Amino acid sequence: MTVHFSQKLCRYGSTFILAAGLWIILSTCCHALGEGNPQFYEKQKEGWFWYHDPPPEPDENEEQKISLVQQIPQQQENRYRGANLEQVSLEDLWKMYPDDFQQLLDHVQNLAVQAPTEENTLRYLVMQDVARRKALAYTNSAMYVTQKYGNLFNINQVYPTSRPGVTARVQIQNQEIGQTISNARNNHALIYFTSPTCGFCEKQNGILSYFVEKYGWTIKPVDISRQPGVAARFNIETTPTLLLIKKGREEHMTVSVGVVTLTELERKLYRAVRYLQGETRDDNFLMYDFQKGSAFDATSILNNEGKQPWQGK
């Protein structure tokens, strides 16, 4: 009985050990698979035959570019590290290229912060003083050049800032605006888009009444609810809107969207009329006629007959 009992125990024990071993192996495999890939029940929407594009291969040139970019700051940082600053004279600092000067200044500042000795701090403050003096020298030179070549850089001749000059400028602008609008009334017209639900149109109506009384222009009102085809033709969705048209031409231009004052309407209409007449372009749209050829005429600098401004008169 004793021998029979021990054999039976061994047989059951071997079975238990074998089952435990299989369970450990399966658990290890499942854990290894689960580390890199989700379980089936986590990706059941993909199905068994779901296909993924392979990851793109790394671009060797791109990796090389990134490596070079990462090296640049280190190269710049080490440019002046360890340099013998005693060999750099004030004359060298004065003639040094600004980028090189800035790098050296940063290095000297770092040394002063790292070791704030009298020598390091004095060297940094001296370099700061050199930078201030260089900026002062440039300011003086710029003032000299702009005064000597006032015809190139001085805008006070067409945009004065003194009180008498401002008064004169405003008078010239208003006179030019009024003449341009008055001269254009015979071959231009305004289309005024309104709607019954427009609460702002009533205020705009009063302003337009003053405008018509002052300049004698023709204004054609268009109710976009009754004439949707006209509104669609000009792509009008907001009221009030004023549109400028010219006789014999398909080209048109929006003057204003929303309520505008009489002064603003005159200024916007003046610019629109000049643009449709070909007197201005998009790059000089804000320029007045009396500003032609001045510093406010953006492209006038190109009309130099091949002579460069820095070559002198």
pLDDT recorded at residue 12: 46
- The DSSP H or E segment spanning 80 is none
So where are the chain's domains?
A: 76-145, 163-292
User: Residue 179: helix, strand or coil by DSSP?
Assistant: helix
pLDDT recorded at residue 28: 53
- Is residue 143 within 8 A of residue 149, CB to CB? The reply is no
User: Would the CA dihedral through 297, 303, 307, 312 be positive or negative?
Assistant: negative
35: exposed, middle or buried (Cβ count in 10 Å: 0-12, 13-18, 19+): exposed
Class of the domain covering 163-292: alpha beta
Q: What is the C-alpha separation between 162 and 81, in angstroms, rounded?
A: 53
pLDDT recorded at residue 5: 40
pLDDT recorded at residue 179: 97
Q: What is the C-alpha separation between 200 and 121, in angstroms, rounded?
A: 67
pLDDT recorded at residue 72: 42
pLDDT recorded at residue 192: 96
pLDDT recorded at residue 128: 95
110: exposed, middle or buried (Cβ count in 10 Å: 0-12, 13-18, 19+): middle
User: Residue 14: helix, strand or coil by DSSP?
Assistant: helix
Q: Mean pLDDT, consecutive 10-residue segments, the chain of 313 residues?
A: 44 52 53 51 56 66 53 49 70 92 92 93 94 96 88 80 92 96 95 94 95 95 94 93 92 94 97 94 92 86 73 62
How many residues are recorded in the chain? 313
pLDDT recorded at residue 69: 43
